[in-house]
A and B are shown apart, each in its own frame.
Chain A
Amino acid sequence: MTEHSRIELADADHLSDHRFTVPGMRCAGCISKIERELPKFAGIEAARVNFSAKRVAVRHDPALGEDAILRAFEKLGFEAQPAADNPLGQDDAESKKLVRAVAVAGFGMMNIMLLSVSVWSGATGVTREMFHWLSALIALPVIAYSGRPFFASALMALRYGRTNMDVPISIGVLLATALSIFETATGGEHAYFDGAVMLLFFLLTGRALDAAMRNKARSGISALLSHLGRGASVVNPDGTTRWIRAEDLEPDMVMVVAAGEALAADGRIISGTTTIDNSMLTGESRPQPAGPGMIVYAGASNLSDPITVELTATRDDMAIAEIARLMDEAGQSRSRYVRIADRAARLYAPAVHSLALLAFAGWMIAGAGWYQSLTIAIAVLIITCPCALGLAVPAAQVVASNALLKCGLLVKDGSALERLAQADIVLFDKTGTLTLGQPRPINLDELGADDRGIALALAQASRHPLSKGLAAALQSEGAAPAHLDQIAETAGIGVSGEWRGLPVALRRAPSGSDNPASELLVGERRVRLEFADQLRPDVTETLAKLEELGLSGQIVSGDREEVAASLGRDLGVPAIGAMLPGAKLERLEALKTQGHFPLMVGDGLNDGPALAAAHVSIAPGSASDVSQQAADAVFVGESLLPVAKAIRTARQTMRIVRQNFAFAIGYNVLAVPLALAGLVTPLVAAIAMSGSSIIVVANSLRLARSAR
């Protein structure tokens, strides 16, 4: 807390705040390192870490630019990215409102229960009346406050002539409250304040869980989103460079694109030769050489050497804009999906309401007075009010999504889990999805143990994409970095250093083959390392597991036909290559009209429309921002296994949800006759409700181990 107040006390007028995403924070040491060391840089006043969101708020001198702060992070050994301006949007406010409503309902419920216990245990006369009045005094403001989420949503549904779960809930709560007030005013025997408030409490708990799940996934995904390529270093007339956001870029500006950076806009190369990776844009896996005069597109990334690019198009007529248009159209079909809870409500609400009406009419005909008939009708409404139903879905989904989160899969919301369970065919993109989408060395076995240590130490010192790929590959094979002296990186050439007196270097290799390559120098010895995009480690296992679950796989790739076909043969699945974003979309539509529920797994910008159009979609954490936002779930790490786990867990979740529903309905079958017979007292209602809610939650908790 001390750090926090220090930031607030600082002279706010002269300082500006910026938020940065730092995915690399893993431990307490990272927190203290950032919070202590960052303010030591000139111009930075304070830093405050939010570890859960992997975000750092930096208070700094406005003269200090974003890139200077990023460099400060880099010096501390952290990769940081500027976070979006409004990181905690409305969703967070909404979930806080729900938690507050839960707290108020919980407070009301406990106090009213306390009073009810003495009424149930036989208080009569003045005592009972006073306790009823006291209950009313607590219940009315509590219902008015905590009931708002339901009332608002029910009103909205009714206004559009529809019905959802909130309609029967609202009617039940309001009628129970009205009846209880009437009972209290006339000195009657039964008041249902406790039932009404308890109902709100359990249902709000379900809602709050649901909101918490969505927020957790969203903050996880925003921590993954790369903000590279969202802007560019533009060269000023005087030769200096400044950072400009992508939306402010204009034609004829000249930008410098470093190795490893993504292009923010379309343009023509004016100097520098390099290799360009278009896989995000087209699915083509082979990096392409590019030199002065060539046109390069936004979304592609620069692999080997810095280039300067003159911009030719503005944001609206870039190559990406076409993909964005396709995505807008594709996203509409998914919004037609109706969640299982609302589907249940569609059947449930009319049934409950007509049952209550029938009870009222029945007792009137049978000769009971209108008062007694009304009491019984309301008792039917309360007892059937879907406490367990309201918890049945969110409780199961929250537990399941937490379990999936632990194995590296972020599911964006409950509807995504429901749709995952329905999937019956999987379409995979190739580059970046089945493969790592990163150049990895293919001839590592030419390196001896010493060479490996040296190569790892050198590769770790560089941010070049080939070095990153080399470092990742060596680390995964268990190499430990050798101790080197005098490590220095020269942009465009490589990294050099000294190992036991020998000069060593990792540098650009003379061109010789299709693959990008680098060269390791140890003294006089040279080893040429070739790089290519390789398959993710568990692809075959994942496909087999999906097959087991009854999902057949297909590869739809934007890469060349022969590359896609040969991979398809290796993996034993049908593969189509050379597919444009529109063609992927058509393929999905065709599957959908055949009655399939396709799951799309893809990463590139060119997969964006397909991810948005598929029945459900998953993107890897290395995917483009657009794809991560379009996808229903994102998995992190190199393994593809979370895809199969997601399907299995989603199906288990639906099984539990159905059990919960069956239980809730079974309980109604038992309780409704009691209510119809006029035997339901507030005591019976309270026991029935809390009992059924607890059983539903306990049943859902069984999912906690499902993702293992």
Chain B
Amino acid sequence: MTQNKKSQWLIYTILIILSVFMLFPVLWVLSSSLKSGTELFSWPPTIFPNDITFDNYISAFKEANFGRYLFNTVFVTIVATALTLIINTMSGYALAKFRFKGSTVILILFLSTLMIPLEALMIPMFVVLKTLGLYNSIWGIIIPPAATPTGVFLIRQYILSLPDEMIEAAKMDGANEWQVFMKVIIPLSAPVIATLTIFSVMWRWQDYIWPLIAISDTRLYTLELAIANFVGEYSVDWGPLLAMAVVTMVPMIIVFLFFQRFFVQGIMATGVKE
């Protein structure tokens, strides 16, 4: 065997071992969630469930109010993403294609806030929310994080590269400003809008800190809040909890497998996740 072949085998061996390390927690939780209550705690543990049962899933929905949290999360994710797309695209367009008084100042001010972590604003954001009467409301979860500078920046950079001639031509044809935006800018920006959609869905589905601050009413809990709350209890009911974890992570994994290339583009364009 040549030196080269040997090192090839070594690389594959390393990669496979590491892949197992990356995958087993996910598969283990999946397998555990399909076990019966007694099998879940049997020692030695069974690798695959002896009898596959959906009891944990059923009791998560029936007893742990999981349906409610799932609905809240889906609602927040969809509405917040729609809002984010509308307002970020409008702002991104204004900052990319218009020269106006204060445009540079606004851009710099706005970009410098990329540096402020939400974690450093927990208390005053809570105070503003409460003052406006949005505390413990689903809109309190949805609205404040929608104006994300990351999204505006992502959109602006893309629209900057679109040719001005397209806009001029549309105006010659008698389009007003709003029509230019809707009929020229939006269709041409489809790729970056797709990227932002996926990012926003991911941010909202997985967000923990903001909902934690914005609500305390358990009826408004998102999946993340519900899981964090259940795992903090004195005696943890593992079966339904693991079932919840599976239902919470599977949609995002599917989104990822379908739209992989957008992630890489998005990461490289912004250099950040949040």
Partners in one complex: no
